[in-house]
Structure formats: C-alpha cells, structure tokens
C-alpha cells in the first residue's frame, strides 16, 4: 500500500465500524485525508499526525462545535489542512454559539484555501492556542462575528498571509496579550486584505492588533473601512525586539488614525494612509507605559487625514525619527508634530489639499 493512500471519513448514517477506524488510522499517519460535505471533520482533524495532508472539497462543511486540531507536524513536515480547489474554497459554517470554529493546539500546522463564515456574534474563526510554526494563508473570512484570527498565548514563527477578511463584526486580527503576559515573536502578517470592521458600539474594531511585548512584521496589507485603527502596534519592553510596519495601504478608519504606534521599537516605513478620521500615523504613549522610543517613521505618504499627517497625541518621544514623509493635509492640521526633544524631524514635505481634493478625501470616510 503506497504512502499516499487516501481515506474518506464519512459521518451521518455511516456506522464507524472496523473498516472506518482502519481508514482513519491510515490517514493520520502522514498520508492524505479527503473530506467532502457531510464528512466527520471533527474526528478527522482531532489527532492528525506529521505530514498529513487533509483536503476539504468544495461545499458547506457545517459544524456544531469547535474543531480542535490536537496533533501537529514538525519542521519540514507540517500538517496541512487545505481546500481542494482554489477557485471554490470549501466553506466551514458554524451557526452555533461556540468560542471558536477552529482551535489549533499543536505546532507546525498550515491552514490554506478555506472559507470561514458566517458565525454568530463573538464566535471567532481561527484561534491559535500557543501554537508555533503555524501558517494561515489564502483563506477567506466573511461575516465573522468574533475575531477572524487570534493568538493570545506565547508562540513563535506564525505566518498570516494572503487572506481576505470581509465585513468583520469584531477586530480582524489580534496577536498577543493586552498586559504583555504572553509574547508572540517572529510573526509575519503579509499581503492580507481587510475590508470592513463594524463591531458593536462598545468595541474599538481594529484591523490588526499586535499587543504589548509581541513583535511582528506587518507589510503589504490593504486594510480599509475599519472603525478603529487599521493597524496598531503596542511596542515591547525589550529594546532588542523591533516590529516593522511597511508597505501597507490603510484607509477610511471611521473613528481613529490609520496607523497607531503605542510604543517601540518599531519601523513605520513606506505606508500609504488615506482619509482616516484622525491622523495618518499617530504616536501615542498607550497606557502611559513610556515606550515611545526607538521609533522610525519614514517615507510614508499621508493623504487627507482629518487629524493631520504624523502626530504625537500624548507622551514624550525618545530616539524617534520622523523623516522623508509626504503629507497632503486638511486646513488647520499639520503634516508633522512641532519640534520636540527626543525626536528628529527632517526632509518631510507638506502639501495643502485643494477643495476638490478635500472632497475626495472626505469620501473615504463614507
């Protein structure tokens, strides 16, 4: 029997006799599992093993409880859970009130080409429970009532790449712990598209949050139509850990700035921030933690943000550079903060928007 033996795990009226158990045992030993709508997804994913390739075929895979991925892979031989066809992703639908649709509790797992949603309010799509070496890529999250992707336990080597999150009713991506009690390192958030974050009135509604003492590269994402900041990085108490926010397009925050930096060290470079309710980029001493140090804001293009280009909303800057940015500003706003101790300002360019340009920028808030 070849290494690529295939097994289909079927639920419903099928009774799991010895043959089914044998097929499942074969499938979880580094081979391949194929799941079609109606298959027992929970059983197939509960104890997968190194190198297993789990293929979900197109259609709706309805679940009534959390799918727990308890077995993982190893470097070079991850567990892969993927859609069979890129043009028609399998849709994992959960209409019951569970905490999360998929819970990953093992390392070296790849989720690829899946479609999540809708889910009820406060039901997350993918939760990583201290799982390292995990990749979530090329997935669609639509009408999710909780967080689309969240990791709030210590982990490393997490990749979130090429996903689309549409009409989210909560913060789209959340990484780390608010108090800094956990730390996520070597986190890459790249090439994702987030369109629409509309949470309940009591919630902020971010695009991407990287919490205190977690460190990430956030690059080449498009994030539009959020309630709160499209991107917020809170900084780290360890000066050797530097986050990077580079090459992103952020636009249309209804209540906040395009990029908010709550602390450093962080490099904010080559981003485009357009038509946000407050500033294009805001430096804010979040929680009065005094972490506004080691910050480099350079080469950004800032257009029609109601609160100005780059602003410091509160707190003292230390070893901060604001250089080479171009801001198209509204009347009564500034392109950069006034000269202050601890901040180097150089080679920034300011243009005042014309009436027609202001009308265009105002349309980004609609």
Residue-wise pLDDT for 82-111, tens only, equals 999 878 999 999 988 899 999 999 999 999
pLDDT band at 31 (very low <50, low <70, confident <90, very high): confident
> Exposed, middle or buried by CB within 10 Å (0-12, 13-18, 19+), for 29?
middle
CA angle (45 as vertex; 147, 28 as ends), nearest 5 = 150
pLDDT tens-digit series, residues 209-268: 999 999 999 999 999 999 999 999 999 999 999 999 999 999 999 999 999 999 999 999
Residue 293 predicted with pLDDT over 50: yes
CB atoms within 10 A of CB 32: 17
Residue 10 predicted with pLDDT over 80: no
Strand partners, 260: 232, 282
- Which candidate, 188, 366, 158, 161, places its Cα nearest to that of 277? 366
What pLDDT score was predicted for residue 366? 53
Residue 16 predicted with pLDDT over 50: no
Tokens of 307: 């609160």
Q: What Rg, from alpha-carbon coordinates, does the chain have?
A: 22
Yes or no: say if 280 and 308 are a contact pair by the CB < 8 Å rule: yes
Interatomic CA distance for residues 62 and 341, integer angstroms: 58
Residue 29 predicted with pLDDT over 90: no
Instruction: Say what the pTM is.
Output: 0.89
pLDDT band at 47 (very low <50, low <70, confident <90, very high): confident
Interatomic CA distance for residues 136 and 147, integer angstroms: 14
Widest distance between CA atoms in the chain: 76
The single-letter DSSP state of residue 30 is T
Interatomic CA distance for residues 213 and 270, integer angstroms: 24
What pLDDT score was predicted for residue 340? 79
User: If you search the block for the tokens 């990791």, which residue do you land on?
Assistant: 151
pLDDT band at 1 (very low <50, low <70, confident <90, very high): very low
Yes or no: say if 44 and 27 are a contact pair by the CB < 8 Å rule: yes
184-210 CB burial, b ≥16 within 10 A, e <16: bbebbbbbbebbbbebeeeebbbbbbb
Compute the average pLDDT of residues 303-326. Answer: 90
Which sign, positive or negative, has the C-alpha torsion 333, 291, 183, 240? positive
What pLDDT score was predicted for residue 46? 81
Yes or no: say if 39 and 8 are a contact pair by the CB < 8 Å rule: yes
Least confident of 37-46, 55-64, 214-223: 37-46
Query: Comparing 48 with 226, which gets the higher pLDDT?
Result: 226
Least confident of 231-235, 271-275, 317-321: 317-321
pLDDT band at 43 (very low <50, low <70, confident <90, very high): confident
Compute the average pLDDT of residues 312-327. Answer: 88
């Amino acid at each position: 029997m070849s290494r690529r033996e295939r097994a289909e795990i079927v639920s419903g009226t099928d009774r799991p006799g010895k043959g089914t158990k044998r097929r499942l045992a074969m499938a979880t030993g580094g081979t391949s599992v194929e799941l079609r709508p109606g298959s027992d997804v929970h059983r197939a994913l509960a104890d997968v093993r190194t190198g297993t390739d789990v293929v979900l075929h197109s259609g709706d895979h309805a679940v009534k409880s959390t799918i727990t991925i308890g077995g993982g892979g190893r470097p070079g031989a991850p567990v892969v859970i993927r859609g069979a066809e890129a043009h028609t992703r399998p849709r994992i639908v959960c209409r019951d009130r569970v905490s999360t649709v998929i819970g990953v509790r093992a390392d070296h797992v790849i989720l690829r080409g899946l479609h999540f949603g809708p889910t009820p309010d406060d039901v997350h799509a993918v939760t990583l429970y201290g799982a390292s070496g995990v990749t979530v890529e090329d997935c669609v999250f639509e009408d999710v009532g909780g967080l689309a992707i969240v990791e709030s336990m210590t982990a490393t080597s997490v990749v979130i790449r090429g996903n689309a999150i549409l009409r989210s009713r909560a913060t789209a991506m959340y990484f780390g712990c608010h108090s800094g009690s956990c730390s996520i390192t070597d986190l890459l958030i790249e090439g994702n598209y987030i369109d629409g974050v509309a949470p309940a009135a009591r919630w902020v509604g971010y695009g991407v949050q990287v919490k205190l003492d977690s460190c990430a590269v956030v690059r080449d994402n498009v994030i539009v139509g959020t309630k709160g900041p499209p991107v917020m990085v809170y900084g780290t108490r360890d000066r050797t850990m530097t986050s990077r926010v580079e090459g992103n397009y952020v636009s249309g925050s209804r209540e906040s700035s395009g990029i908010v930096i709550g602390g450093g060290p962080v490099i904010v470079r080559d981003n485009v921030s357009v038509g946000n309710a407050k500033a294009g980029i805001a430096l804010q001493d979040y929680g009065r933690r005094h972490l506004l140090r080691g910050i480099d804001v350079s080469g950004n293009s800032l257009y029609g943000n109601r609160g100005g280009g780059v602003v410091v909303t509160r707190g003292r800057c230390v070893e901060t550079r604001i250089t080479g940015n171009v801001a198209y500003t509204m009347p009564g706003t500034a392109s950069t903060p006034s000269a202050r101790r601890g901040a180097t300002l150089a080679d920034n360019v300011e243009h005042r928007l014309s009436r027609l340009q202001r009308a265009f920028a105002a349309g980004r808030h609609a």
